[in-house]
Amino acid sequence: MISKENVKRIAKLARLGLTQEEILKFQKDLSSILDYIEKLKEVDVSKVKPTAYSIEMENVMRKDESNEKLKIKFKEHRSSLASAKASANEKLLDLAPEIKNGYLKVKSIL
Amino acid sequence: MELTNLTITQTHDKLTKKEFSAIELATAFLEKIDKEDKKISAFLTLTRDLALSQAKEIDDRILEGREISVLAGVPMAVKDNILVENVRCTAGSKILENYIAPYDATVIKKLKSQGAVILGKTNLDEFAMGSSTENSGFFPTKNPHDLTRVPGGSSGGSAATIAANLSVFALGSDTGGSIRQPASFCGVAGLKPTYGAISRYGLIAFASSLDQIGPLTKTVEDCRIVFEAISGKDEMDSTSLNLKFKNQNSKPQFKIQNIKIGVPKEYFIKGMNVEVEKIIKKAVKKIENLGAKIEEISLPHAEYALPCYYIIAPSEASANLARFDGIKYGYSQKAAKDLMEVYLQSREKGFGAEVRRRIMLGTYALSAGYYEAYYKRAQKVRTLIKEDFQEAFEKVDLILTPVSPSVAFKLGEKISDPLTMYLSDIFTIAVNLAGLPALSLPCGKVNNLPVGLQIIGNKFQEHEILKVGEIFEKN
């Protein structure tokens, strides 16, 4: 059984707030799933290489340059032609909960 | 004439013969949805204006006498974890309840350019995590064959729209069975393509080494049409690959007599519904009678696929879902006093129980001291599962299995026990771990509830899978 302290530690690492009842619930749920996963210990993997992706490929890269094609063509659904050319940046900032002077605004860290 | 029960090819045929217009067709679907989706709850968002404006464009083309593609004017539904520009995209989560997609996913861009008409966005288990669509942050979807039962999941909304004739075809995504299992439960065709066959740009990521987009349709032929329209390399998805599927259709002499099919003994297990097993065995017999050679094979590590998946998928999910932080987009707890509280509270309120459970599990498996024992070991078992298939495909061309050990279960039946729920994907998960293509197609019914047959192929053998599927369907 995974300890309550461990559940709290994992929740903090995952940045998940949990209620008291949930700590108990997750303690039970995670323990039963982890017990099931113990089954993997039956397999001898001493000589096996790990697989991260089913298709082997690595370091697929494009040139690090600004690409006009990647800029989002913008058709504003709620307002007029004037904003029709708003940049991708503005469109993304529109989705942010809080912005100030074109930046994402966050609460104090300390 | 019933406009809403036609396949893609039939719809195309009647549109070009002007038996009805694209607008009439879209309107017929929208009216049917208004009337019937109240009881099924397949749609989260309807895109009425988009549908009608797309349909009008196609009608104009037809009037001008220009040629139209086979998908032009054909109404479709999109799983709500795939972005359609300027349309809300929730991933079935409260955390994205008001998120408006800033761009089109590559698959949507391709389908729009073919002229397909988008009716709306369909319900799913939150972030595609689930097997019943009951984990949706909004409401559960019901199985059109029996409203007291689940449609399967996570692409349950998409599968239900096909079964209830609320769209001609739909897109889903499949990480561990999320296209095939709902296709099976709803009695429709669903294809999970080879890993890399279709761009995932604009698909909200769940487990990136496993996720694939694919079609849900009325017939196997329709699956092929949609698959061909959306596959191919995309510079926006570095895992996508360019393969020549298209010309394969004209490849001469496909003969089912030349096909060798394996039936893995590990896929007929205790605890499987006896009636389902009978129907699958009958389907195998039918394919044998059609001329294919059938032989028993072994996939010795089959039983480890599910535990392996429940390390790998949650681990990747815990990393992918770190982006939902209450800062960049989505739900944000504004009353929080500092940054840490914004994270903790936004993610507490925004994510549902199953998503939180998987984030916890993944974080645990990746955390210091546990990484080697869980994640690394699971990756090694993944290698063995993949090698099982490689060895099998040296002997046979295709593999036949059930899609799920049971028919659609009752709403509420499995929701309180995560492990029981996970077991309904026991036959679909290994395919994702190995990156293979697989088709789910209807092969019979138990008490009026559909049963699905799974045809698994080697990488990029979609053509063979679909051919055998089409022959099965027509006989």
Question: What does the pLDDT read at residue B250?
Answer: 52
What is the residue-averaged pLDDT of chain B? 95
pLDDT > 90 in chain B, percent: 92
Question: What does the pLDDT read at residue A56?
Answer: 76
For A88, name the nearest residue in chain B, comparing CA atoms only: B102
Alpha-carbon distance B174 to B436, whole Å?
A: 12
Q: Which structure tokens are listed for B122?
A: 């369909």
3-class secondary-structure state, position B357: helix
3-class secondary-structure state, position A28: helix
A82 touches chain B (CB under 8 A): no
For B97, name the nearest residue in chain A, comparing CA atoms only: A95
Distance from CA of A91 to the nearest CA of B (A): 7
Sheet with strand B293-297: strands edge to edge = B43-46, B117-122, B75-79, B169-174, B212-217, B189-192, B438-446, B449-457, B398-402, B260-264, B293-297
What is the residue-averaged pLDDT of chain A? 82
Question: What does the pLDDT read at residue A86?
Answer: 57
Using a 10 angstrom Cβ sphere, with 0-12 exposed, 13-18 middle and 19 or more buried, the burial of residue B220 is buried
B89-127: pLDDT as tens digits: 999 999 999 999 999 999 999 999 999 999 999 999 999
Interhelix angle for B48-63 vs B22-40, to 10°? 160
- Band of pLDDT at residue B402, cut at 50, 70 and 90: very high
Q: Shortest CA distance to B77 belongs to which of B106, B113, B50?
A: B50
- Cα–Cα separations (whole angstroms), residue B371 to A43, B319, B365, B428: 17, 14, 6, 26
Contact check, Cβ <8 Å, B386/A54: yes
pLDDT > 90 in chain A, percent: 55
CATH code for the domain defined by B1-323+349-475: 3.90.1300.10
B281-309: pLDDT as tens digits: 999 999 999 999 999 999 999 999 999 99
Summarize the confidence of residues A60-65 as an average pLDDT: 80
B460 touches chain A (CB under 8 A): no
The owner of tokens 């395919």 is B431
Alpha-carbon distance B413 to B433, whole Å?
A: 27
Interface residue of A3, A15, A91, A110 to substitute, partner B, most B CBs within 10 Å: A15
Distance from CA of A82 to the nearest CA of B (A): 17
- Band of pLDDT at residue B249, cut at 50, 70 and 90: low
pLDDT of A76 > 70? The answer is no
pLDDT of A75 > 70? The answer is no
Bin B261: left if φ > 0, else alpha if -120 < ψ < 50, else beta: beta
Task: Say which of B367, B374, B381 has its CB closest to residue A43.
Answer: B381
Contact check, Cβ <8 Å, A54/B347: no
B306-332: pLDDT as tens digits: 999 999 999 999 999 999 999 999 999
| Domains located in chain A, CATH noted | 4-42 (1.10.20), 70-104 (no CATH)
Least confident of A62-66, A84-88, B50-54, B72-76: A84-88
Q: Choose the most confident range, by mean pLDDT, from A56-70, B195-209, B234-248.
A: B195-209
Active site residue B199: no
pLDDT > 70 in chain B, percent: 98
A10 touches chain B (CB under 8 A): yes
Alpha-carbon distance B29 to B11, whole Å?
A: 13
Q: What is the DSSP string of B191-233?
A: EEPPTTSB--TTBPPS-TTT-EEEEEESSHHHHHHHHHHHBS-
- Band of pLDDT at residue B451, cut at 50, 70 and 90: very high
Summarize the confidence of residues B246-257 as an average pLDDT: 68
Beta-carbon contacts of residue A78 (< 8 Å; ≥ 6 apart): none
B339 touches chain A (CB under 8 A): yes
Largest Cα–Cα distance of chain B, in whole Å?
70
Task: Say which of A19, A49, A106 has its CB closest to residue B383.
Answer: A49
β-strands B75-79, B169-174: how paired? parallel
B63-78: pLDDT as tens digits: 999 999 999 999 999 9
Give me the catalytic one of B132, B155, B173, B178: B178
Active site residue B154: yes
Is the whole-model pTM more than 0.90? yes
- Band of pLDDT at residue A69, cut at 50, 70 and 90: low
**Cβ atoms B36, B142 nearer than 8 A:** no
